[in-house]
Amino acid sequence: MPRRKSSRLSLPNLAKRLLRSRKGGFWVVLIAAAIWYVSEVAQRDDYVYAGVPRQTDYARVHNWVHVIRNPGFLVGYSELRRNPLWVAYRLRPVEQKRHLPRPQGFSVDWRTLMRVSHEDYSRSGYDRGHLAPNYAISQLYGRSAQYATFRMSNITPQRPHLNQELWQRLEEVEIDRFARRLGELWVVTGPVFDNRMEYLSSGVEVPDAFYKMIIDLDDRQQPRVLAFLVPQNVRGDEPLDRFVVTVDEVERVTGFDFFHRLPDDVEQRLESSRPHPAWRLKDVARIQPRFKVGN
């Protein structure tokens, strides 16, 4: 599969040059301040539970994101990685199914600087993997929201067995089983990168794994979480409960602080907890995908 080291003058290299120059330091600080301001404003967004994910180390420029709002979901997008680093959305039970045909292609998001396109993934061996899912978002938020899920700012490279099988199963379970039985849910999901920094030939960085965290509130309005960490190299038919982790583990591998607006004791308990029996994960761990999609 065409994965390579990037040799072009990329945004990471540009950021390093700015940091080394006397005047460049000012612009780096200004850009970081702008990102921080946009993130703080986004804290009030209805699609995010307990605060927009924030970096734990602002020196890690590859984790700098700018927040992109869409109908139905919010994206934290990295221009350096040409990937969304987190996507947040809110689910509820689907009361009446909409029959919306799948869009034919993926569109450039003109709100991004790098302008990743549909063709940037062609012949790469990787699928264009949704983070905000087409089915759930379109069912709950309508046609314009569905089109937004097909913008490349919501897309990340996923191997076919992951995208078309195991990841699809997770998306089906959260909307068809968990939301139907538990009611309103919040989801935050995204890619995980190691230090190798491998790329498609187009310059899009290839993730090594993906996380998904689903939040539910119990009868006392206390949060409980179900967190997954899934590597790229799955077969696709593994039981979902094989990939259950804690939020603490997701924070360690991503460099983001999630749910930071909760009281400290609640946040600490939530992020170190294992799944509550209310999720009944064993009942759906081996569910089969509804269909395969070649994209």
Q: Residue 32: pLDDT above 60? A: no
Q: Residue 40: pLDDT above 80? A: no
Q: Residue 8: pLDDT above 70? A: no
Q: Which of 50-59, 82-91, 255-264 has the lowest mean pLDDT?
A: 50-59
- What residue ranges do the domains of the chain occupy? 11-284
pLDDT digits (tens, 9 = 90+) for 206-241: 999 999 999 999 999 999 999 999 999 999 999 999
Quote the mean pLDDT of the chain. Answer: 88
Give yes or no for a contact between 150 and 134, defined as CB atoms under 8 angstroms apart. Answer: yes
Closest to 67 (Cα-Cα) out of 95, 21, 109: 109
Q: Residue 132: pLDDT above 50? A: yes
Helix 22-42 and helix 11-20: axis angle, to 10°? 120
Q: Which of 120-124, 143-147, 288-292 has the lowest mean pLDDT?
A: 288-292
Q: Residue 6: pLDDT above 60? A: no
What is the per-residue pLDDT for 45? 65
pLDDT band of residue 153 (cuts 50, 70, 90) is very high
CA distance 96 to 99: 10
What is the per-residue pLDDT for 10? 45
The secondary structure element, H or E, covering residue 256 is: strand 256-257
pLDDT band of residue 266 (cuts 50, 70, 90) is very high
pLDDT band of residue 293 (cuts 50, 70, 90) is low
The pTM (predicted TM-score) of the whole model is 0.85
Q: Which of 3-7, 94-98, 218-222, 245-249 has the lowest mean pLDDT?
A: 3-7
Fold designation for 11-284: Extracellular Endonuclease; Chain A (3.40.570)
Q: Which residue type occupies 98?
A: R
**Sole residue written with tokens 């993730």:** 207
Question: Other CB atoms closer than 10 Å to residue 225's CB: what's the count?
Answer: 23
Tell me which range, 7-21, 30-44, 188-202, is most confidently predicted by mean pLDDT.
188-202
Question: Other CB atoms closer than 10 Å to residue 111's CB: what's the count?
Answer: 14
Q: Residue 22: pLDDT above 80? A: no
- C-alpha angle 199/203/206, rounded to 5°? 30
